[in-house]
Amino acid sequence: MNNKDKKIKVAFPHMGTIYVAWEKVLNAVGVEAYIPPYTSKKTLSIGTKNSPEAICIPYKLILGNFIEAIENGVDYVSMIASPGICRLGEYGRNIAQVLVDLGYKTNYVELNLYDGFNGMIEYLKKISTHKNYFKLLGAVYLGVRTVFAVDELQNFLSYHRAREVHKGDSEKAFNKAIRYIRDAKNSRELSRALKKGLSEISNVEIDKNKNVLHVDLTGEIYIVNDEFSNQNIERELGAMGVQVRRSLTVSSFLKDAIIPKMFKKGETHLERAYRLAKPYLMRDIGGDALECISDVLYAKERNVDGLIHVSPFTCMPEIMSQNIFPKMREDVNLPILSLIMDEQTGRAGYITRLEAFVDLMRRKKMKAKNTQVSVKQ
Ligand code: SF4
């Protein structure tokens, strides 16, 4: 291949299934999307070795993803930045400096999502040879639609996984659906792929009459959406007959961060957070703390059976929410389980805590079975 025909190779860190959207955007602007090996214990160990000890775990995993990608010859590593109140605002600069200190020559480029669509266009201009505004806008649109499609599939998976007759069937169908989405080249193909994916999952044999529990999953957005760092909590709960609804999704984040008001339907997650969280938290204190506090009240409003809060060890905003939860537990009478994720990936103790929580919710539900209140989906 002629050198000038060689495509620029760009890598981005993992966070659950977000690679599906990144890949689509980058490929649509003529860039080769490089997907680093999915986050593993090796990634964590590389990241930890090169990070300050007390930094939160998403930083360590992102750095680990970057180093693994660079070792595989990418031209750019790239990530989302935000001017947030917590340490996220410092991530980019630190990571770029660490990579230089380690002697890597790879370019580092970041995307500030809070600059909206124009920020995304400017970011794409830096890595792509395509400079046509409409072409770039089309790529962003396709990426955003992909995020919404994947979240819809994820939700559908959760419903089926809690009721499946043969363990693992729903996840197999979901993985097939993700392949359909990845193969879609444009918006029309994406719509078809989503339809095909949903039908793939709905073909899974389920027990519709199973008495499932409903749990909302909230916390720091990276941990909520990344199965490596939350130890695949949704799979574990699904196997115990629990349908999980993620309160914080990438699509809900995009609605707040980049989608113009005129294209939004109803109240966004952040708008709801400001409305509901007030009696307990008056303002945004960084990260996702405001949303987490409001998610407790929203879960209660919808009469779910419990709420699980997951956060990284040393995450400052989530330490604040954990300190507000005891008072909320008393006020709203809702089972809340707070799990702090760190570098220790031991499974046995983790599963025991989940089982005890599920048991508590079941007993509470049994007691209240005569009240006949149903969960609003
Ligand atoms: S929200 Fe928490 S985990 Fe995320 S960057 Fe901020 S301090 Fe770290």
| pLDDT of 257 higher than 90 | no
According to DSSP, the β-strands at 107-112 and 213-219 are: unpaired
**Helix orientation angle between 133-163 and 169-183, rounded to the nearest 10 degrees:** 170
In angstroms, what is the span from residue 108 Cα to ligand 1's centroid?
21
Residues contacting ligand 1 via CB (< 6 Å): 56, 58, 86-88, 220, 287, 312, 315-318
Phi first, then psi: give them for residue 56, nearest 5 degrees: -70, 155
Give this prediction's pTM.
0.93
Mean pLDDT lowest among 176-185, 241-250, 253-262, 290-299: 253-262
Residue with the smallest CA separation from ligand 1 atom 7 is: 315
Q: What is the pLDDT of residue 1?
A: 45
Q: What is the number of the ligand 1 atom nearest to the C-alpha of 91?
A: 5
Per-residue pLDDT tens over the stretch 2-24: 455 678 999 999 999 999 999 99
Q: Which pair of tokens denotes residue 60?
A: 């360590």
| pLDDT of 328 higher than 80 | yes
Percent of the chain with pLDDT over 70: 95
In angstroms, what is the span from residue 53 Cα to ligand 1's centroid?
14
Structural domain boundaries in the chain: 7-131, 136-207, 211-377
With 0-12 / 13-18 / 19 or more C-beta atoms within 10 angstroms meaning exposed / middle / buried, residue 341 is buried
Mean pLDDT lowest among 54-63, 89-98, 229-238: 89-98
Q: Please tell me the CATH code under which domain 211-377 is placed.
A: 3.40.50.11900
Q: What is the number of the ligand 1 atom nearest to the C-alpha of 58?
A: 3
- Per CATH, 7-131 and 211-377 having the same topology is answered yes
In angstroms, what is the span from residue 88 Cα to ligand 1's centroid?
6
Question: In this structure, what DSSP letter does residue 164 have?
Answer: B
In angstroms, what is the span from residue 36 Cα to ligand 1's centroid?
22
The domain 7-131 is placed in CATH, from the list 3.30.1240, 3.30.2310, 3.40.50, 1.10.3470, at 3.40.50
Task: Supply the mean pLDDT for the chain.
Answer: 92
| pLDDT of 307 higher than 50 | yes
Cα–Cα nearest to 26, from 122, 119, 127: 127
Q: What is the pLDDT of residue 374?
A: 55
Residue with the smallest CA separation from ligand 1 atom 5 is: 88
Over residues 282-291, mean pLDDT: 92
CA 40 to chain centre: 17
Q: What is the pLDDT of residue 4?
A: 57
Percent of the chain with pLDDT over 90: 77
Q: What is the pLDDT of residue 12?
A: 94
Could you tell me how many helices (H) and strands (E) the chain has, helices first? 15, 8
Is the pLDDT higher at 149 or at 116?
A: 149
In angstroms, what is the span from residue 317 Cα to ligand 1's centroid?
7
Name the residue of 61, 63, 222 whose CB sits within 8 Å of the most ligand 1 atoms, as the mutation to test its pocket: 222
Over residues 48-67, mean pLDDT: 94
| Helical ranges in 203-332 per DSSP H | 221-225, 233-239, 250-257, 269-277, 289-301, 316-332
Name the residue of 61, 85, 86 whose CB sits within 8 Å of the most ligand 1 atoms, as the mutation to test its pocket: 86
